[in-house]
Amino acid sequence: MKAVEELFPQSLRRTLVELRRTLHRYPELSGKEERTAAALHAALARIEPGPARLERVAGTGVVARIPGRDGSRAPVAVRGDIDALPISESTGLSFASEHPGVMHACGHDVHATWAVGAAHLLAARPAAGDVLILLQPAEETGRGANAVLESGALDGVAAIFGAHVDRRFAVGEVVAQEGPLAAAADTFEIELVGSGAHGARPHEAADPIVGAAALIGALQTIVARRVNPAYPAVVSVGSVRAGSAPNVIPDRATLTGTLRATDPDTRRLLVEEVRRIAEATAAVYRLNANFSIELGPPPLVNPPEPAGWARRAATAVLGDAGVVPLGFVNMGGEDFAAYLERIPGCFLRIGAREPGGEPIPAHSPRFYAAEESIFVGAAVLAETARIASEAVS
Ligand code: NI
């Protein structure tokens, strides 16, 4: 950790802490990060020597191009996401949210700050080639990464890196490894359509509520009986809507739920099986099933070579003891996976629990990342960009 502290002069420490606190105090929801984007644009514009290019992308995103020693090399990118969640904060922090019902409960205030911190470090000690610092909007809705890709801002980028704060790990611990790091997160909706009748005369109805009850049970057999137990998967029904009165059989019932898998084959299997079981169960109960799926982020799987660069960087910054295994399968989704479908790269997890602190889960109203994680994330991402930039050209 001493090596990290030496990288940040007092004035830069103050700048980054102040930026993080401002972002945390004024959180904004996905796609509405206007004030956040303006603050980040201003923070990047103040870096000395200045970015070769600084522009808004994908609505409320910002990209800064930090010059390398040789501008003719293919650039690499460092991404920090910037959006907040519709949660009322109860951290008790002195810089707690002043936007009612909105909160940085996933640590993106720190992700954005360490991307700016990495820009400072790379301006002071440039990589071989240019580095794009990407502040990405709308991670929580799973739409931001695709919007950035569509904008063309990453065309020609040779490698991309990003990270997430994690209070299951102490400040100074970093996960930088190949393989699965986050799950695909797809959303399904099933509308069961029958015909309504008086609750006293069920034989005149085709009852979607009884069909929905059977369907919810049948969906639980997918993970238990169809997915290879060696591959993690989740099928959760999260909402059930039907009916308006105790003595009325309604004509339709609607279920929604989430599907999680860490590999593409299991992901496809879950979608096919939910559809098949929905249609077959509907037929048994004389109903029709309207099935729809909204594909979210794909599984996030770090390829070996870029993961090796990130690991080398983390070891250089924190020593061998600072690089720790993930140690569990993460069934959360992360839209950074969309970049990795097109560009080599690695997604890391950065320890964010202060000494004596609790492992508060992300998306809790009590969640915050320890302040010192700003500097670890910035230092590791800057060094990863330097090692990758050297390696890709
Ligand atoms: Ni997050």
Write the DSSP assignment of 343-362 as a string of letters. S-EEEEEEEEEPTT---PPT
**Cα 269 to averaged position of ligand 1 atoms, centre (Å):** 26
Structural domain boundaries of the chain? Answer: 2-179+300-392, 184-294
Give me the pLDDT at residue 276, please: 98
Task: Determine the distance separating the centroid of ligand 1 and the alpha carbon of 37, expressed in angstroms.
Answer: 17
Complete DSSP assignment for 8-75: S-HHHHHHHHHHHHHHHHS--BTT--HHHHHHHHHHHHT-SSPPSEEEEETTTEEEEEE--S-TTSPP
The CATH classification of domain 2-179+300-392, taken from the options 3.30.160.270, 3.40.50.300, 3.40.50.280, 3.40.630.10:
3.40.630.10
How far is the centre of ligand 1, averaged over its atoms, from the C-alpha of 374 (Å)?
A: 15
pLDDT at 325 over 80: yes
Cα(278) to centroid(ligand 1), Å: 32
Once rounded to an integer, what is the mean pLDDT over residues 85-96? 98
Model pLDDT, residue 3: 83
Report phi then psi at 353, rounded to 5.
-105, 125
Distances in Å between the Cα of 133 and the Cα atoms of 33, 121, 161, 256 are 17, 12, 10, 37
Q: Which residue has the tokens 């924190």?
A: 318
Residues 335-369 as b/e (b if ≥16 CB within 10 A, e otherwise) read bbbbbbeebbbbbbbbbbbbeeeeebebeeeebbb
Distance in Å, CA 265 to ligand 1 centroid: 25
- What pLDDT, on a 0 to 100 scale, did the predictor assign at position 329? 86
Q: Ligand 1 centre and the CA of 285: distance in Å?
A: 41
Distance 231 CA to ligand 1 centre (A): 24
Distance 54 CA to ligand 1 centre (A): 25
For residue 108, the CA-to-ligand 1 centroid distance in Å is 6
Q: What's the CA-to-centroid distance between 163 and ligand 1, angstroms?
A: 9
Question: Token match 């799987």: residue?
Answer: 301
Residue 203 CA, ligand 1 centroid: distance in Å: 50
The strand pairing partners of 135, in sequence order, are 62, 80
- d(CA 107, ligand 1 centre) in Å: 6
pLDDT tier for residue 266 given thresholds of 50, 70 and 90: very high
Mean pLDDT, range 357-377, rounded to an integer: 97
- Mean pLDDT calculated for residue range 306-318: 98
DSSP letters for 223-245? IIIIS-TTS-EEEEEEEEEE-SS
Q: How far is the CA of 334 from the centre of ligand 1 (A)?
A: 7
Residue 96, pLDDT score: 98
Report how far apart, in Å, the C-alpha atoms of 92 and of each of 16, 38, 97, 283, 366 are.
Answer: 21, 26, 10, 53, 8
What is the band of 370 on the pLDDT scale with cuts at 50, 70, 90? very high
Asked if residue 393 has pLDDT above 80, the reply is no
CA distance 207 to 199: 10
What integer is the mean pLDDT of 41-70? Answer: 97
Kindly tell me if the per-residue pLDDT of 184 is higher than 80: yes
**CA of 42 relative to ligand 1 center, distance in Å:** 23
Cα(305) to ligand 1 centroid in Å equals 24
State how far the Cα of 228 lies from the Cα of 266, in Å rounded to an integer: 8
Q: How far is the CA of 217 from the centre of ligand 1 (A)?
A: 31
Euclidean distance between CA atoms 120 and 48, whole angstroms: 8
What pLDDT score was predicted for residue 156? 97
d(CA 67, ligand 1 centre) in Å: 28
**Ordered DSSP codes for 104-140:** --SSHHHHHHHHHHHHHHHHHS--SS-EEEEEE--TT
With a pLDDT cut of 90, the percent of the chain lying above it is 97
**Dist. CA 51 → ligand 1 center (Å):** 27
82: CA distance to ligand 1 center in Å? 9
What is the 287 CA–ligand 1 centroid distance (Å)? 39
Least confident of 83-87, 264-268, 328-332: 328-332
Find, among 93, 76, 141, the residue nearest to 335 by Cα. Answer: 141
For 184-294, CATH gives: 3.30.70.360
> How confident is residue 168, by pLDDT bands cut at 50, 70 and 90?
very high
Dist. CA 140 → ligand 1 center (Å): 7
Cβ pair 299, 232 in contact under 8 A: no
Q: Is 186 exposed, middle or buried (0-12, 13-18, 19+ CB in 10 A)?
A: buried
Q: How far is the CA of 87 from the centre of ligand 1 (A)?
A: 13
Mean pLDDT along residues 302-311: 98
The two tokens of residue 230 are 């060696």
Instruction: List, edge to edge, every strand of the sheet that includes 76-81.
Output: 53-57, 61-66, 131-136, 76-81, 159-170, 345-353, 174-175
pLDDT at 147 over 80: yes
pLDDT for residue 328 is more than 90:
no
**Distance in Å, CA 167 to ligand 1 centroid:** 12
* Number of neighbours of residue 313 by Cβ within 10 angstroms: 26
Q: What is the pLDDT of residue 116?
A: 98
Torsion over CA: 18, 31, 120, 340 (sign): positive
Residue 346: pLDDT band with limits 50, 70, 90: very high
Those residues whose C-beta lies under 8 Å from the C-beta of residue 68, and which sit 6 or more positions away, are 75, 126, 127, 128, 129, 130, 131, 389
Distance 105 CA to ligand 1 centre (A): 8
Distance (Å) from CA 27 to ligand 1 centroid: 13
Cα of 199 vs centre of ligand 1, distance in Å, is 46
Residue 78 CA to residue 339 CA, distance in Å, equals 11
Q: Is the pLDDT reported for residue 305 higher than 90?
A: yes
Pair 296, 302: CB distance under 8 Å: no
Ligand 1 centroid–CA 10 distance in Å is 28
Interval between CA 106 and ligand 1 midpoint (Å): 4
